[in-house]
Structure 1
Amino acid sequence: MSSLTIIESILRDRHLFFDEIRQGKGLSEKMRAMFISSIVFLALYGAVMGSTHSLWQALSSGFKLPLLFLATLIVCAPTLYFFNLIFGSNQSLSQNVALMLTAITVTAVVLLSFAPIVLFFLLTSSNYQFFKLLNVGVFTVAGIVGVIFLIQGMSLVSASGGSDGARARQIVVQLWIVVYAFVGSQVAWTLRPFVGAPSMKFELFRQLGGNFYTNIVASIGEILGFFTVR
């Protein structure tokens, strides 16, 4: 199954796709195709993000963005799997990973679909803070769409497991999504910069300090003219 075929299958007939995951049909093939496609799409969008600074930043961001999603998946996957087991889920680890890869793949597709818009603002605006917040907004939208697919997939795949613990498993998934978002934002902060500041030389990584959320508030404050971010 090619990467484009798997994406079309997810977007056009997600119920059939999730049913095949529930039955365990072609899991390794599906996961391989989703992994490759998401890596390529995330790398392309990462390169667009970094192109505001330099070629090296574009290459760096193109490498680090797939790494961000992969690292977050590795950190968070065991939590979802074992808590689902505790509350009576009959899903295998492969099924859990396949569902998470589905969400990441959908997120990557949405990100890539925004790439022309991001490029447009890159070419027509020189405001670094605005461009950074634009990307945060794009990631938020893409992440929400990916989460919707994850919740739908978890519900459909878990339907065959009976009603025992079903409500608890739904709560586990919802809490896991919150944890995933916090872990992802922290990993992103650790791997920064993705959008290099024009006033600074190229850096592969920056020193640890501060956090993602205070930086976003500071960026909004600069755009509104309250203060200047250094």
Structure 2
Amino acid sequence: MNLETTPAPSPAPPPPLPNPTHNSDAKMELQPLGAPASFVVVIEALLRHPGRILHECKQRGSKVPLILLVAAVLGLAVFGALLGTFSGGTQYWASPVKVVGGVLASLLICLPSLYIFSALGGIEARLPQIAGMLLSMIALTALLLLGFAPVVWIFSQSTESVGFMGFLVLAFWIIALLFGFRLLVSAAGTFGMTGGLYLTIWMGIFLVVTLQMSTALRPLIGTASTLLPEKKMFFLEHWIQETGGSGNTSKSEQYGR
């Protein structure tokens, strides 16, 4: 008589937990766009699968960089237009022109240094690809600012404090730019970045350039007797002057000194 028994089968192992790092890497994987490069397709890819945008930027004759530029200009223009509703008058058109012009000028000023720092950091990419990374960064930043735009409009219609509006806009700009920087760092890693210090230095330079540009083109908020300032000023000096000397300035008073 055989008393041997068949051992019970062991339970199946639980499925592996999702790896956030792997998912993040998958988003930056260089893949074809998968559809004709329309405005909606490019924006969705930028938000969901930015690696596809980087892949398209490597292709000659791709329309993606132009679409990214258009998206950035539209987002910045709408955000600037809502800033203009704070004071009205000439600011309806002056604010969006200054916002778009200031950001685009900052991109052109900082593109050469980004290319040099990218090469020092070990990134294997040519200048058009570096420009594509930069356009992706600023397009994402502009989209986030567009998302913040309704909040800016609410406060522009309910407060007369230039100081508070300036703080709110500055906070939104830094938050949106940080997300753009995060995309830039991920893209640089995809292209083989080995030294992150160089890119960190460049991001600090770009932030300072944009802050100085906002002072050089003042007023973006409030009103002034001239379209552009008559006096040169460092942005920290300007902030100290406005918050310390005239922190209660209303939108009906001059702001572009």
TM-score computed with the length of structure 1 as normaliser: 0.84
- What is the aligned partner in structure 1 of residue 91 from structure 2? 57
- Is 1:171 the equivalent of 2:197? yes
1 CA distance for matches of 2:168 and 2:142? 16
- The whole-number CA distance in structure 1 between the counterparts of 2:190 and 2:131 is 15
Q: Give 1:40's match in structure 2, choosing from 59, 69, 74.
A: 74
Q: Distance in 2 between matches of 1:28 and 1:196?
A: 41
CA–CA distance in structure 2, aligned partners of residues 188 and 60 of structure 1: 13
Q: Higher relative contact order at CA 8 Å, sep ≥6: structure 1 or structure 2?
A: 1
Contact 1:42 1:111 in 2 (8 A): yes
User: Which digits, 9 at most, give the CA deviation of each residue in 1:62-90, with x for residues without a partner?
Assistant: 11111111111111111121233345432
Tell me, yes or no, if structure 1 residue 118 matches structure 2 residue 152.
Answer: yes
Counterpart secondary structure, 2:63: helix
Alignment partner of 2:218 out of 177, 192, 203: 192
- Partner of 1:158 in structure 2? 192
The answer as to 2:119 corresponding to 1:93 is no
| Whole-angstrom distance in 2 between the partners of 1:122 and 1:87 | 42
User: Structure 1, unaligned stretches of length 5 or more?
Assistant: 160-165
Deviations 1:165-211, CA, capped at 9 Å, x for gaps: x12xx2111111111111111222111111124xx44x321123332
| Larger Rg, first or second structure (1 or 2) | 2
Secondary structure at the counterpart of residue 158 of structure 1:
coil
Please say if 1:145 is aligned against 2:179: yes
Return the structure number with greater helix share: 1
**Gaps in structure 2 of 5+ consecutive residues:** 1-36, 249-254
CA contact (8 A) 2:123 2:191 kept: no
Q: Name the residue aligned to 2:30.
A: none
Output aligned runs, 1:58-77, within 5 Å.
58-77=92-111
**Is the aligned partner of 1:216 residue 2:239?**
yes
Q: CA RMSD in A?
A: 2.3
Residues of 2 paired with 1:211 and 1:204: CA distance? Answer: 18
TM-score calculated relative to the size of structure 2: 0.76
Distance 1:118 1:193 in 2: 16
**AA paired with 1:188?**
S
The alpha-carbon distance between structure 1 residues 61 and 96, as it changes in their structure 2 partners (threshold 3 A), is: same
> Which residue is 2:28 aligned to?
none
Aligned residues: 214
Q: Is the 8 A contact 1:27 1:94 kept in 2?
A: no
Alignment partner, residue 162 of structure 1? none
Residues 1:180 and 1:140: Cα distance change in structure 2 (over 3 Å): same
Aligned to 1:8: 44
Q: Distance in 2 between matches of 1:43 and 1:152?
A: 27
- % same residue: 25
Query: Does structure 1 retain, via aligned residues, the 8 Å contact 2:133–2:187?
Result: yes
Cα distance in 2 for residues equivalent to 1:96 and 1:120? 37
CA 151–88 in structure 1, closer or farther in 2 if over 3 Å, else same: closer
Partner of 2:208: 182
Q: Are residues 1:133 and 2:167 paired?
A: yes
- Read off the aligned partner of 1:13 and give its amino acid letter: H
Cα separation, 1, equivalents of 2:108 and 2:62: 17
Aligned 8 A contact 1:133 1:219 in 2: no
Moved more, 101-110 or 117-126: 117-126
1:192 partner amino acid: R
Using the alignment, how far apart are the partners of 1:12 and 1:209 within structure 2?
42
4+ residue runs over 4 A deviation: 218-224
Amino acid at match of 1:155: G
Q: Distance in 2 between matches of 1:158 and 1:3?
A: 28
